[in-house]
Each structure stands twice: as structure tokens, then as C-alpha cells.
Amino acid sequence: MKIKRLLFLFSLPLLLAACTSYKNVPYLQNPEVVNGFEEALPLYDAKIMPKDLLSITVNTSDPQAAAPFNLTVQTPLNAALTNINTTTQPTLQQYLVNNSGEIDFPVIGTLKVGGLSKNEAEDLIREKLKPYLKETPIVTVRMANYKISVLGEVARPGSFTIGNEKVNVLEALAMAGDMTIYGVRDNVKLIREDESGKREIINLNLNNAAIVTSPYYYLKQNDILYVTPNETKAKNSDIGNSTTLWVSSISILVSIAGLLVNILK
């Protein structure tokens, strides 16, 4: 009986530690918070920011009429002579938004697009083109360098380009192979810089389902997610393999104690 009691007392801290650790692992532990949220959340729409690269095309039924408003890459003379008998789609040049949120658009001149959504920028360009075209053109604006970065305790840290200009925190972690077991779910750092250059660090708790209704759920271009390591990882980095050896020793002792209990029955 004494051996059984000692074995139980010896194993209890390990069992409690395992239960406590598990509570910190699952995402979105209280879904009722979101399911009971009656207010409709606005759909996310990315805003154009300084240093964004924009791809802008203008199309009409008459391609010649729209040609002056499409910024094309100049073809070298030799290449033009070589391909004189071939018909190729001209390569469009991208617009770099300056620190004032402006681009230099052909014929029209300077346009203030910073802070506008893609649809708002399209409407602005369409309105500016009215004096130059007989018909309403089709204007398409795309962000060519919409990217986010994920680092820290994830399987595949790195930067990721987002083709549809919309990504949330959980999708970003999925791109990086999800958090490792050492990642702290309730203290993920979001590093963000706005259009004025102001930087802020926001703590995100992914254990709490309320993150889905947070204004920080969707990531903006150039956002950085940093997954902080837990205490176990920090201790491992400090003392190398000694912690692993210590845990292994405890496991061996527990196994020996269990074997003695069975022998002495």
C-alpha cells in the first residue's frame, strides 16, 4: 500500500501538468461567444497603403482608346524586331504608391489612392477618365505585393504573398504549418504599421473564440505574426538536453515503481 501511495503521489504532479498544458493548446475554446454574436460583422476590404505595388488596367471596347491609360513596359528594339510577326499581350508596369499615398497615372497625373479600398480606387480612376473616353471603362486594380510574415514557434516560418488580398490569423498560421507544441496560444504578437508609419504590437489570444470578432482577426499587408515560445522551450534553450534527460529519468523511475508494485502484490 505504501508503494502504491508513493507511486500515486509521485505521478500526480505529472498528471496535473499534462492537464494544465492541454487546456492551453486548443484554439477557440468558447465558440458560444461567437455563435451568440447577433451583430453582423462588416466584410473585410484591404486598404491601399504606402509602398504598395498596384497593377491597374483600363479596358474599353476600343483598345486603342484605352491604350494611353495603360502603363506598359517598353520593349527593347532588338526584341521588337525579333518578334515583329508575333502578336503578344503588352506587359503592364506596376505603380508604386509613395509615402503620401499617391501614384502618377498616365494622362491624368497624380492620384491620391492611399487609404482607399480596391473598389474605391477603381471608382476614382473611372471618374477621372470620363473626360477622355466616350464610354465608361472597365478599371481593375490589384495589389501585387500583399504579403504577411509569420515567425517564432511555427513549423515553417516565412513571408507569404496573398493572392486574394484577404487573410485571417488562423489562415496565416496554416500557411506556416501551424504552431509547434511550444507556441503560446494566448499571447501571439501582431506587429502592424499603419499608413502614417505608426507601429503597434497587439497581443492576440487564440484560445478565446472572441478573436473571430476582433478588428485584428484579418491581417493587413506587411503584418507580422510572432508566436512566442512557452517556458518549456525557453528552459530547453537554456539548459540543452538536461531537461529531456530529467523527464526521461522520471519516466524510468515511474516504470520501475509500477513494476515493483506488480512484483510485491
Instruction: Tell me the three state secondary structure of residue 158.
Output: strand
* Whether residues 39 and 152 fall in one domain: yes
Boundaries of domain holding 134: 53-143
* Whether residues 137 and 88 fall in one domain: yes
Provide the grid cell at 179: 504552431
* Whether residues 73 and 39 fall in one domain: no
Whether the pLDDT of residue 263 is over 60: the answer is: yes
Report percent pLDDT > 90 for the chain.
58
* Whether residues 244 and 259 fall in one domain: yes
Check which CATH number belongs to the domain holding 167 and give it: 3.10.560.10
Provide the grid cell at 254: 515511474
Reported as a single tens digit per residue, the pLDDT across 21-75 is 667 778 888 888 778 766 777 888 999 999 999 999 999 999 999 999 998 876 5
Torsion, Cα of 159, 161, 167, 172 (10° steps): -30
Whether the pLDDT of residue 208 is over 90: the answer is: yes
Whether the pLDDT of residue 16 is over 50: the answer is: no
Contact 99, 89 (CB under 8 A): no
* Whether residues 124 and 205 fall in one domain: no
Reported as a single tens digit per residue, the pLDDT across 236-256 is 665 555 555 555 667 676 667
Q: Which of 143, 163, 193 is the last residue of a domain?
A: 143
Average pLDDT over residues 74-86: 51
Whether the pLDDT of residue 14 is over 70: the answer is: no
Whether the pLDDT of residue 1 is over 90: the answer is: no
* Whether residues 135 and 75 fall in one domain: yes
pLDDT of residue 92: 80
pTM of model > 0.95: no
Specify the number of domains making up the chain: 3
* Whether residues 133 and 159 fall in one domain: no
Pairing status of strand 95-96 against strand 102-105:
unpaired
Q: Which residue has the higher pLDDT, 157 or 197?
A: 157
Average pLDDT over residues 99-122: 95
Residue 227 makes CB contacts below 8 A (sequence gap 6+) with: 150, 151, 152, 153, 154, 173, 179, 183, 184, 188, 189
Check which CATH number belongs to the domain holding 72 and give it: 3.30.1950.10
Reported as a single tens digit per residue, the pLDDT across 129-186 is 999 999 999 999 999 999 999 999 999 999 999 999 999 999 999 999 999 999 999 9
* Whether residues 70 and 107 fall in one domain: yes
* Whether residues 39 and 162 fall in one domain: yes
For the ranges 6-15, 27-36, 203-212, 230-239, the lowest mean pLDDT is seen at 6-15
Categorize the per-residue pLDDT at 5 as very low, low, confident or very high, splitting at 50, 70 and 90: low
pLDDT of residue 137: 95
Handedness of CA 101, 105, 109, 111 (dihedral sign): negative
Q: CA–CA distance from 133 to each of 66, 111, 119, 129, 130 (Å)?
A: 8, 18, 20, 6, 6
Instruction: Tell me the three state secondary structure of residue 38.
Output: coil
* Whether residues 150 and 41 fall in one domain: yes
pLDDT of residue 38: 66
Instruction: Tell me the three state secondary structure of residue 46.
Output: coil
* Whether residues 109 and 79 fall in one domain: yes
Whether the pLDDT of residue 3 is over 70: the answer is: no
Q: Which of 78, 108, 143 is the last residue of a domain?
A: 143
Q: Which of 120, 143, 166 is the last residue of a domain?
A: 143
* Whether residues 131 and 172 fall in one domain: no
pLDDT of residue 40: 73
